[in-house]
Amino acid sequence: EHQKYIRNFSIVAHIDHGKSTLADRILEMTDTVAKRDMKNQLLDNMDLERERGITIKLNAVELTYHAKDGHDYEFHLIDTPGHVDFSYEVSRSLAACEGAVLVVDAAQGVEAQTLANVYLAIDDNLEIVPVINKIDLPSAEPEKVRTEIENVIGIDASDAVLASAKKGIGIEDLLEQIVHKIPAPTGDVQGPLKALVFDSVYDDYRGVVLSVRLFEGTVRPGDKIRMMNSGSEYEVTEVGVNSPKPVKRDYLMSGDVGYLTASIKDITTTRVGDTVTNADDPAEKELPGYREMHPMVYAGLYPTDNAKFDDLREALEKLKLNDAALEFEPEASQALGFGFRCGFLGLLHMDVVQERLEREFNLELITTAPSVTYRAKLTDGTVKMVENPSEMPESSSIKEISEPYVKATIMAPNDYVGAVMELCQHRRGIFDTMEYLDDYRVNIVYHMPLSEIIFDFFDKLKSGTHGYASLDYELEDYRPSDLVKIDILLNGDKVDALSFISHRQFAATRARDIVDRLKNIIPRQNFEIPVQAAIGAKIIARTNIKAYRKDVTAKLYGGDRTRRMKLLEKQKAGKKRMKAVGKVDIPQEAFMAVLKTD
Footprint of ligand GTP on this chain (CB under 6 A)?
A: 13, 15-21, 53-55, 81-82, 133-134, 136-137, 164-166
Nearer to ligand GTP, 81 or 339 (CB): 81
**DSSP string spanning 535-561?**
ETTEEEEEEEEPPPPHHHHHHHH-S-H
Cβ atoms 370, 454 nearer than 8 A: yes
Give dist(CA 1, CA 3) in Å, integer.
Answer: 5
Task: Please state the closest distance from residue 292 (CB atom) to ligand GTP, in A.
Answer: 24
Fill in the amino acid letter for 561.
Answer: R
C-beta of 53 vs 574, nearer to ligand GTP: 53
Task: Give me the least distance between CB of 166 and ligand GTP, in Å please.
Answer: 3
Q: Compute CA distances 568 → 361, 508, 547, 571, whole Å.
A: 28, 39, 19, 5
Annotated binding-site residue numbers for GTP: 16-21, 133-136
The radius of gyration of the chain from alpha carbons, rounded to an integer in Å, stands at: 27
| CB-CB neighbours of 28 under 10 Å | 16
Burial class (CB within 10 angstroms; exposed 0-12, middle 13-18, buried 19+) of 494? middle
Q: Which is nearer to ligand GTP, 39 or 583 (CB)?
A: 39
CB nearer ligand GTP, residue 166 or residue 524: 166
Closest CA to 360 of 42, 56, 579: 56
Cα-flanking dihedrals φ and ψ of residue 582, to 5°? 60, -125
Length of the chain: 598
To ligand GTP, the closest distance from the beta carbon of 50 in angstroms equals 10
Q: Give the DSSP H/E element, type plus range, for residue 443.
A: strand 441-449
**Closest chain position to ligand GTP (CB):** 82
Helices 561-575 and 550-557 pack at an angle, to 10 degrees, of 120
Nearer to ligand GTP (CB atom), residue 29 or residue 378: 29
Please identify, using beta-carbon distances, which residue of 16 and 172 lies nearer to ligand GTP: 16
Q: Which residues are annotated as a binding site?
A: 16-21, 133-136
In angstroms, what is the minimal distance from the CB of 43 to ligand GTP?
Answer: 9
Q: What is the DSSP string of 70-123?
A: S-EEEEEEEE---SGGGHHHHHHHHTT-SEEEEEEETTT-S-HHHHHHHHHHHH
Q: What angle do CA 327, 329, 331 make, to 5 degrees?
A: 140
**Alpha helix ranges (H) inside 397-481:** 417-426, 450-454, 457-464
Q: Tell me which amino acid residue 253 is.
A: M
In the complex with ligand GTP, which residue's Cβ is closer, 168 or 464? 168
Shortest distance (Å) from residue 137 CB to ligand GTP: 5
Using the minimum distance from each CB to ligand GTP, give the nearer residue, 53 or 536: 53
